[in-house]
Structure 1
Amino acid sequence: MKKFGTKQLIPLAMALMGIVFAWIGFTQLGFWEKEPKAGFFPTIIAIVMVIASIAAFFQTLKEEDKPSYNKDELLVIAGGAAVIAGSFIIGMIPMLFLFVLFWLKVIEKGTPWKHVIIIELLVAAIVLGVFAGWLQVQFPWGIFENFM
């Protein structure tokens, strides 16, 4: 019998988190009433997350080797945790811009400032235009919420 470890625990935890987010999207934010509501996009992403997590769980059961983690995988997880933590302090949108800036200049090393500015403008257009404007996703604003 295969041992139960982190390779199985993480997909199960992510599936559980996806179920919670889908429930919040359906019950508290609203999904669809003649048009998409604020919970539409988060609920879709949560459902995809549940499906992907279940698939990842079953894939880990087929693996025979001992789990190993490399530095690059942990950097992505640490970056996601930093965005979540920073979202409560300075807000999600400013934190996303800082994350993209940090990732391109520090992790990717050597990205020219011209490219960084273009990418930041594209991120701003997508996040603010599509998610905040069209889909009405309610982002946490942290300390900036009082100014809005």
Structure 2
Amino acid sequence: MKRFGSKQLIPIAMALMGVVFAVVGFTQLGFWDKEPKAGFFPSIIAVVMVISSVAAFFQTLKEEDKPQYNKNELLVIAGGAGVIAGSFIIGMIPMIFLYVLFWLLVVEKGTPILHIIIIEAIVAVIVLGVFAGWLQVQFPWGLFENFM
């Protein structure tokens, strides 16, 4: 019998997290009422997260070899944890910009500064224009929320 390990536990945890986000998005934030509500995007992402987590779980059951983790995989997880932790301190929007800047400068070494500026501008348009403006996603502002 195949051992149950972290390769199976992570997709299960992500599926459960997706279910929680979907329930909150659909019930508390609202999904659609003549236009997208604040829960529109989180609900869609949560459903995709559940589906992909279930698919990943069944895929891990087919693997026979011992789980091995790549350094780059762990960097992505650490980066996501850093964004979440930093969101409580300086807010999510500034943390997203810092994360993209850090990733391009440190991990993707050799990225020209002009490309970094263009990428940061595109991220700003997407985050502020689409998510904050059009979809009305309420981003956490961290410790600065009391000053706003």
**Same fold? TM cut 0.5:** yes
What pairs with 1:1-148 in structure 2 (closer than 5 Å)?
Answer: 1-148=1-148
Letter in 1 for 2:77: I
Three-state SS of the structure 2 residue aligned to 1:130 is helix
The amino acid of 1:139's aligned partner reads: F
Residue 138 of structure 1: CA displacement? Answer: 0.6
Gaps of 5+ in 1: none
Scaled by the length of structure 1, the TM-score of the pair is 0.98
Instruction: Give the whole-Å Cα distance in 2 for the aligned partners of 1:52 and 1:147.
Output: 39
The list of structure 1 runs, each at least 4 consecutive aligned residues, that deviate by more than 4 angstroms after superposition, is none
Alpha-carbon distance in structure 2 between the residues aligned to 1:143 and 1:125: 24
Unaligned runs of 5+ residues in structure 2 are none
What displacement does 1:33 show?
A: 1.2
The offset of 1:27, in angstroms, is: 1.2
Structure 1 residue 18: Cα displacement:
0.2
Aligned partner letter, 2:21: F
SS of the residue aligned with 1:4?
A: coil
Q: How well do the aligned residues superpose, as a CA RMSD in angstroms?
A: 0.7
The Cα of 1:147 is off from its aligned counterpart by: 3.8
1 CA distance for matches of 2:7 and 2:133? 38
Q: CA deviation at 1:21?
A: 0.4
CA distance in 1, matches of 2:15, 2:82: 21
Letter in 1 for 2:106: V
Q: Scaled by the length of structure 2, what TM-score is found?
A: 0.98
Shift, 1:112, TM fit: 1.2
Partner letter of residue 60 of structure 1? T
